[in-house]
Structure 1
Amino acid sequence: MDRSLLPEGSVRKIRCPGHLLLDRDKEERRHNARHEGSKTPSEQTPTATVARRTSLRAGGRNLGRNQDSQGGPGGPILLRSQEDGSSSGGWCGATGSNRREDWGSNPGLGCIYGSTMIAVETGLYIGSVSDLKDTEALTNAGVTHILTVDSEEPNVSGFHLKFVHALDDSSTDLLSRLDGCVQFITEALSASEGKTASVLVHCHVGQSRSAAVVTAYLMKTQKLSLQDAYTKLQQLKPDVKMNEEFLDQLALYESMSCELDTNSPLYKQYRLKKVTEKYPELQNLPKDVFAADPAHTQNTEVVYRCRKCRRTLFRHSSILSHCLGSGASAFSHKRVSVGSPAGDQKQCTSYFIEPVQWMEEALLGVMDGQLLCPKCSSKLGSFNWYGEQCSCGRWVTPAFQMHKNRVDEIKHINISALK
């Protein structure tokens, strides 16, 4: 067939091994490439200002697209050949521009050239693990400290590092590590000797775990509420989205005035829940889960003793307070008499406490059961790792309850002060 009879721009399909379809455009490009390679360097077409475009015909779609220097949000990366043969370009989602002059390391712009790092404030960046691939870019941005909140420790050198092992799921206890993370950032930014320091906080993609740490930092250092701190971070980095569990932990952090209080009843209850999730078989529990046995120690704190044998059982600080339930209406599935209104502390007929050392043998490997006095074996209450309902109607999880009518409150009196 005479090629001259083919209309201009038409495609001539050729059957070849493997039934591949080659089009006329490809043949022409190959011919031009061979012709260009045969020229001397002085005859070849300059490439310093040529914008190369890659086109892909698949199902009638052209995925390549000419872009000018302004670009558009979400557009493809435009590569321009440089005089040295290298290429530059990319997209900065924070500024909505692919112009190099719009990127830079200006914290006000919120991004670093060629990186996913976003400036939260002067010297503090949030990013992803991909930012660690170019250590030179980190150094040029002034990063001196790196805080990793991820499941794998990164292999990077030349920086002050802190690694926090954390998965992005509901089983992760990030709350217990927040104070240490905030301290690392604070100490880095207040480095002495007149040296400028910057911190990169990152997880895997920079949306949940690192966002939780940065939010906690803003809450503590700028005295912001959880809502205000989270909103501020989302305005700077719109793709931030913490999982619900981390938001709950930050709410608890806020209730403790942004400082971990291991003696807080709320924190003790939270930690017991995490123990249940981490050790579903209830074996080999950490020793610090159990409060010290008050019968073996001496102090002036209010204690509670077995009404029958007077054995000291637990301290007042071991009581885990809870919000009152709705009263009798919470037991609508049962036939109950109308008692005192919701909000009356006398509704609660049991103390819900943290587990004490003398309970350990009874609790390990057992989901629920009775709590017996370690001395006289009289029944004191019950336990259930998955929770029990208080007489006020509130569910407490996990639950270790001691009936008030089985124990006596003992207050120490300073005799010398009465004289």
Structure 2
Amino acid sequence: MSFSRVPGADNLYVGGAWALNLEGHRQKLYDQNVTHVLSVIKFSFDKWGEEAKRLKHMSIDVMDDSDTDLLVYFSSAVRFIENGLYPSANDEDKEASEKRQARDDGTSPGGVYVHCAMGISRSVTCVIAYLLYKYPHRFGGKQFVPSVTSAVRRRQTSKEAVQKALEWVREGRGAASPNDGFMRQLEIWWEMGCPAESDSAVEQHPIYQKWLYERMLKESRDIRQAPEAEQIRFEDEVELGDEAAEAEADKADGREVRCKKCRRILATPKFVVPHTPNPTERPESPNCAHVFIETLSWMRPALEGGALEGRLSCPNAKCGATIGRFAWQGLRCSCGEWIVPAFSLNRSRVDEVAPRRTDPPAIRLPPGRNGNL
């Protein structure tokens, strides 16, 4: 089948390039009021002549490869699809609300065709990105409320949400099957809250920027090299967006880590990397001998030398005690869990304590007083 309709009220179609190369299929698209074409492949209408004027076109030239960054295009792709299905008020003779109303048959007023080469991976990925953006309530579970759900909750539901959206598309196109890399990018898109307020919304998002950083670290590990000094991301120097800050706040109830010798604070709770002991790997060592933390600015002298691994020392110049080690290629904790990259503090060299309260203490009233003045 050259093209298929995505289930639902949207006049949205997905398929391969054949639908645009065969005249008979093109006429079927016209009959369905398709006015916009999103090509997730290098495609041109130059040879169409005057007929090309019937369509608005956007082309994203990417390969169907799990390492391809398609995520960065999601915002612009979603905005293009939305504008095609529900035209905005660009002319002054009609109100935007009128243009966004459904047609008499209950479908969207406009029509969009999203295609790649075969209509299996790239085009389906962009369609799923749109569905997650447009109808989050369909894919978030019974208790999912997009307006109040935390970033942590979105991360927990990302796999389920993307899989549900894929199954939705497969009801109309059974061959739909994005590659594993694109599926992961869709999960990240969901974690980000599907930002589409501008074409550059993804590129500017802190979660996307951290994902790019992790990809860079993986490339460095693959060639067994430490990242360049100017590429290292120190998490305590990164300005977080609202959603990322919200996710960090959910981790703030833990314990801060201090040097056992001088009591210098090494990491607050939000920079502690949680990991789960693996009793099946090493049942004789159920407890962890390490505390793993994010890359922090006090590590700069140890990391900027370009070593793949090395020691971590207390940043207090009067102390300088060896407190742990780092390994860009990762470390296996005593509990059996692998952490990559690893910035490990030895539990025998540090203390974990509850953070000091910053709010003022409650006023204690004398006996017999109920607080009324």
Which of the pair has more CA radius of gyration?
1
Contact 1:269 1:398 in 2 (8 A): no
CA distance in 2, matches of 1:357, 1:132: 54
TM-score (norm. length: structure 2): 0.58
The code of the aligned residue for 1:381 comes to G
CA distance in 1, matches of 2:59, 2:82: 16
Q: Which residue of 2 aligns with 1:392?
A: 335
The code of the aligned residue for 2:340 comes to T
The match for 2:295 among 355, 377, 382 is 355
Seen in structure 2, the aligned counterparts of structure 1 residues 356 and 140 have a Cα distance that, compared at 3 Å, is farther
The code of the aligned residue for 2:271 comes to S
Seen in structure 2, the aligned counterparts of structure 1 residues 330 and 177 have a Cα distance that, compared at 3 Å, is farther
1:382 aligns with 2:325: yes
| Larger fraction in helix | 2
1:123 aligns with 2:67: no
Unaligned runs of 5+ in 1: 1-92, 94-115, 295-299, 333-337, 341-346
The code of the aligned residue for 2:3 comes to M
Quick one: higher RCO (CA 8 Å, sep 6+), 1 or 2? 2
Contact 2:132 2:194 in 1 (8 A): no
CA distance in 2, matches of 1:361, 1:129: 54
Give the % identical residues. 28
Seen in structure 2, the aligned counterparts of structure 1 residues 277 and 287 have a Cα distance that, compared at 3 Å, is closer
CA distance in 2, matches of 1:237, 1:227: 15
Q: Which residue of 2 aligns with 1:317?
A: 270
The match for 1:241 among 165, 177, 182 is 177
1:367 aligns with 2:332: no
Q: Which residue of 2 aligns with 1:191?
A: 87
Q: Which residue of 2 aligns with 1:418?
A: 362
Task: Report SS of the residue matched to 1:213.
Answer: helix
Contact 1:388 1:399 in 2 (8 A): yes
The code of the aligned residue for 1:223 comes to R
Unaligned runs of 5+ in 2: 47-51, 89-95, 100-108, 140-160, 196-201, 239-248, 364-373
1:326 aligns with 2:278: yes
CA distance in 1, matches of 2:164, 2:331: 35
The code of the aligned residue for 2:127 comes to V
CA distance in 2, matches of 1:165, 1:277: 24
CA distance in 1, matches of 2:57, 2:257: 47
The code of the aligned residue for 2:278 comes to S
The code of the aligned residue for 2:180 comes to E
Contact 1:293 1:358 in 2 (8 A): no
Instruction: Give the Å deviation of 1:393.
Output: 1.7
The code of the aligned residue for 2:66 comes to S
Q: Which residue of 2 aligns with 1:228?
A: 164
TM-score (norm. length: structure 1): 0.53
The code of the aligned residue for 1:206 comes to G
CA distance in 2, matches of 1:366, 1:132: 53
Q: Which residue of 1 aligns with 2:118?
A: 205
The code of the aligned residue for 1:197 comes to G
Q: List per-residue Cα deviations over 1:329-369 (Å, max 9, x = no partner).
A: 4148xxxxx344xxxxxx23333333223435544643333
Task: Report SS of the residue matched to 2:360.
Answer: helix
CA distance in 1, matches of 2:85, 2:258: 51
Q: Which residue of 2 aligns with 1:168?
A: 64
Give the root-mean-square deviation of aligned CA atoms: 4.3
Q: List per-residue Cα deviations over 1:372-395 (Å, max 9, x = no partner).
A: 334444323223333222232222
Larger displacement relative to structure 2 (219-228 or 131-140) = 131-140
CA distance in 1, matches of 2:219, 2:56: 31
The count of corresponding residues between Structure 1 and Structure 2 is: 283
Q: Which residue of 2 aligns with 1:23?
A: none
Contact 1:368 1:385 in 2 (8 A): yes
CA distance in 1, matches of 2:311, 2:332: 15
The code of the aligned residue for 1:330 comes to E
Task: Report SS of the residue matched to 2:138.
Answer: coil
Instruction: Give the Å deviation of 1:291.
Output: 0.9
